[in-house]
Amino acid sequence: MEKQTAQWRQSSRIFHEQAREYDNWFENSLLFAIEKSATQSLQLTLSGPGRFAEALRIPLGIDPAFAPLGLAKQRGIIPCQAIAEELPFASSSLGAIYLLFTLCFLESPDRFFEECRRVLRPEAPLIVGFVPADSIWGRNLRKKKEHGHPFYQSARFYTIEEVKRFFSKHGFQIISNASTLYQEPGKVTELEQARVGLDEQAGFVVIAGRIPATG
């Protein structure tokens, strides 16, 4: 497999240097609670500074930035420094993969989906949670990028249809989904229940897919 360029190094440097600031955002965050609830609503049997991994009881997390891995380890998550496009796991070895709020930072989503197909066991789910590009939250993040926000300077945001095409292109059948976060940025005042279905106006969408069994 062709090695990645140095772009991921620049992106991960920001999250290494400001890991604590990013991590502190989750403390007592209603927004985090809404996003976690939507992910849990998929009811699937079965990474970053370990916030979602800890909440969803995911045992292993990867990140190219070193400092977030230290925070993940403190939460009981097994840390692994790697990039999503080059997963350091044997073929057919993982029972599930979660990619939450990270799709926009990948240098090559296609290579990530290829790697997921390689390392996931038969019928194991791939769960992708992201902010739809055309939602009010997506537009808000694009503005932050345009104004030089350090966390989003290299981000690329995707529509629901674009993400669905990634799943389909690489042989994943969508088996579950949910949409949530209809309150506007800066005006989140109450917990929301996730809705089944994919809504481009939602601020957070979760899609789960798997490779169909053959034979």
Three-state secondary structure along the chain?
CCCCCCHHHHHHHHHHHCHHHHHHCCCCCHHHHHHHHHHHCCCCCCCCCCHHHHHCCCCEEEECCHHHHHHHHHCCCEEEECCCCCCCCCCCCECCEEEECCHHHCCCHHHHHHHHHHHECCCCCEEEEECCCCCHHHHHHHHHHHCCCHHHCCCCCCCHHHHHHHHHHCCCEEEEEEEECCCCCCCCCCCCCCEECCCCCCCEEEEEEECCCCC
Domain 7-210 in CATH 3.10.20.90? The answer is no
pLDDT tens for each residue of 149-179: 877 888 899 999 999 999 999 999 999 999 9
pLDDT at residue 27, rounded to an integer: 57
pLDDT at residue 172, rounded to an integer: 97
pLDDT at residue 30, rounded to an integer: 75
pLDDT at residue 215, rounded to an integer: 54
pLDDT tens for each residue of 109-142: 999 999 999 999 988 899 999 999 999 999 999 9
pLDDT at residue 53, rounded to an integer: 44
pLDDT tens for each residue of 6-32: 565 555 555 455 555 555 545 557 777
Percent of residues, the chain, with pLDDT higher than 70: 80
